[in-house]
Structure formats: C-alpha cells, structure tokens
C-alpha cells in the first residue's frame, strides 16, 4: 500500500505494451487510467467527420476547441467519448490511424492536449486518486514530475504482431505486412516530430517487453516501485 497518491507515466512506441501495462497497473493501484492516444484519435475522427482539411493547423485547432473529449467508466472499463458518443471502435480504424499522426504533429494541438492531460492528472491527484497515463510525451511533457516514469519498448516485429492481433480482435481487416509498414512509418513520425518527439525521459526506467508476458513486465515495475517506497519517494 502506498502512503500518498501516485502518478505513473508510461511512454513508448506502438505495440510496446503500454496499454496492457497501464490497465493492469491502474487496476492494481485503483488508479484513473488515461489513454492519451484516444484523445488524438478522437480529434482526427472529428476532423474527418467535419471534412476539415487535416493539413490546416488552424482549422484542426478550431475543431479541437469545439469538441468534448471525456473519459467515463463503463462495464468494459474506462472509455473515451467524443461529444458524448462512444467511438471506441471507430477510432481504431486505419483511416483514422492515418490522419492521427498528421493532427498530432501540430504544435498548437499538442500544447492544448498537454494542458488538458495535465489537468486530468492534477485533478485525479487532488481528488485522492492515483493516476496511470500512457502516451508518447507523458513523462517528458505532460507530467514530468510523475512519481514513476516508464519507457516501454520491444522488437519491431513483435510490436507489429501485437498490433495485428489487436486489430484482428477488433474485426479490422489488414495484413501483417501492412501493419509492419504502418508501424515503421509511425515510429518515424513519433521520433522525428519537432514538438514533443518520443524520447526516453530523464529518470525513466526502460523496459524491453520483447520476451515478456505482462506478469514479467509487472514484476519489473513493482520492483521499481518497491525501490521508490524504500527511498520514501512514494
Ligand atoms: O497510442 P496510439 O498509437 O493509439 O496513439 C495514436 C496516435 O497519437 C499516434 O500516432 C501517436 C499520437 N500520440 C501522441 O502523439 N502523443 C500522445 N501522448 C499519444 C498519442
């Protein structure tokens, strides 16, 4: 048991296992789980629905300021809603996936998203909740003072296999090669982006999940938490 509310930031590339770890940790710590990728995906979906030119930063920013993005508990866990509508399945379709890296690269969009995400984390802590947030820039920009910062990574072929399986489970038809190509492209975009590129934060623990099952990754995270407890940092 921890003595104070804790915040955990998880970053890493597509398919590194962020979601599985974040959900498992959030359950264990009775924490608020925030999947920030859903926020960027919802913005992309809103732009596509409004036929906004997704290459126009101002227009995309206007859409962001109009839409409501909420996280609500449901029987299937915490879900993201766009203007009150459950879009959990829609946001994972490839046409949204392609648009999201375009809108997520705009500085104005990122600045606003970071502010919103930081507020979600701060409100949770203020209200006596632990928080587990996953994304690309959580430990570097959103909550750089998080109690625990985790950078997950894995071999690209394993990441592509995991993403392919996730898409299959959601009933989305694609091929392994297409997924692999998409991941290579998204890695490039995430890492080379000028604003908040994906990088390993100072003091982050790096976990390579290539050969791990979730139990093994959790053991590594629990060890890191134990160390923080011994040092009275959490
Ligand atoms: O985690 P994900 O793959 O569902 O994220 C979708 C997209 O959003 C991906 O292209 C990276 C981007 N993203 C981001 O730029 N910053 C975040 N904090 C979360 C996601």
How many Å apart are CA 78 and CA 218, to the nearest integer? 20
pTM, entire model: 0.94
SS3 category, 7: strand
- Distance in Å, CA 208 to ligand 1 centroid: 19
pLDDT at residue 43 greater than cutoff 60: yes
Question: Under 8 Å CB-to-CB from 141, ≥6 apart: which residues?
Answer: 114, 196
Site residues for ligand 1, CB cut-off 6 Å: 14, 36-37, 40-41, 100-101, 104, 135-137, 186, 190
Decide if 1 is inside a domain. Answer: no
Look at residue 34 and give its three-state secondary structure.
strand
Residue 92 pLDDT: 87
CATH number for 14: 3.40.50.300
Distance between CA atoms of 147 and 198, rounded to whole angstroms? 19
Could you tell me if residue 43 is inside a domain? Answer: yes
Concatenated DSSP letters for 141-165?
A: II-TT-SEEEEEE--HHHHHHHHHH
Mean pLDDT of the chain: 93
CA of 5 from ligand 1 middle (Å) equals 26
* Average pLDDT score over residue span 184-208: 91
Q: What is the model's pLDDT at position 44?
A: 98
Nearest-CA residue for atom 2 of ligand 1:
37
The CA distance from 12 to 138, in Å, is 10
Please give the distance, rounded to the nearest whole angstrom, from the Cα atom of residue 232 to the centre of ligand 1. Answer: 33
pLDDT reported for residue 94: 84
* Ligand 1 atom with the shortest distance to the CA of 189: 10
Question: From the CA of 231, how far away is ligand 1's center (Å)?
Answer: 33
Q: Name the residue with the closest Cα to ligand 1, atom 14.
A: 136
The number of distinct structural domains making up the chain is 1
Q: What is the pLDDT of residues 64-107, one digit of tens each?
A: 999 999 877 777 767 889 999 999 889 988 899 889 989 999 99
Which domain range does residue 44 map to? 7-226
Which residue has its alpha carbon closest to ligand 1 atom 8?
Answer: 37
- What is the three-class DSSP state of 107? helix
Provide the pLDDT for residue 195. Answer: 85
Look at residue 72 in the predicted model and tell me its pLDDT.
79
Comparing 182 with 2, which gets the higher pLDDT? 182
Q: Is residue 210 part of a domain?
A: yes
pLDDT score of 113 more than 80 = yes
The predicted model gives 205-219 an average pLDDT of: 97
Q: Is 231 within a domain?
A: no
C-alpha span between 114 and 34 (Å, rounded): 13
Contacts of 22 (CB under 8 A, 6+ apart): 8, 10, 33, 35, 132, 133, 134
CA of 92 to the centre of ligand 1 (A): 12
**pLDDT of res. 1:** 47
β partners of residue 70: 81
Note the pLDDT of residue 71: 78
Residue 37 has pLDDT above 80, yes or no: yes
| pLDDT for the residue 167 | 87
Q: Quickly state the pLDDT bin for 193 (edges 50, 70, 90).
A: confident
Domain for residue 194, yes or no? yes
pLDDT at 7: 97
């Amino acid at each position: 048991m921890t003595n104070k509310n804790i915040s955990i930031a998880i970053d890493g590339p597509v398919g590194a296992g962020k979601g599985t770890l974040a959900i498992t940790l959030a359950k264990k710590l009775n924490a608020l789980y925030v999947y920030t990728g859903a926020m960027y995906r919802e913005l992309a979906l809103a732009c596509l629905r409004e036929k906004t030119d997704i290459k126009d930063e101002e227009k995309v920013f206007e859409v962001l300021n109009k839409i409501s993005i909420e996280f609500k508990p449901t029987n299937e866990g915490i879900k993201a809603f766009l203007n009150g509508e459950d879009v959990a399945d829609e946001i994972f379709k490839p046409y949204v996936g392609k648009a999201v890296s375009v809108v997520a690269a705009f500085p104005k969009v990122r600045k606003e998203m970071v502010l919103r995400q930081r507020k979600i984390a701060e409100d949770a802590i203020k209200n006596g909740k632990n928080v587990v947030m996953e994304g690309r820039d959580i430990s570097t920009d959103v909550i750089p003072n998080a109690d625990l910062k985790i950078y997950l990574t894995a071999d690209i072929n394993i990441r592509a296999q995991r993403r392919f399986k996730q898409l299959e489970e959601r009933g989305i038809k694609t091929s392994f090669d297409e997924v692999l190509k998409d991941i290579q492209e998204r890695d490039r975009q995430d890492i080379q982006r000028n604003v908040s590129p994906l990088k390993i934060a100072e003091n982050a623990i790096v976990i390579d999940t290539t050969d791990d099952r979730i139990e093994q990754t959790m053991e590594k995270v629990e060890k890191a938490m134990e160390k923080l407890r011994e040092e009275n940092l959490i």
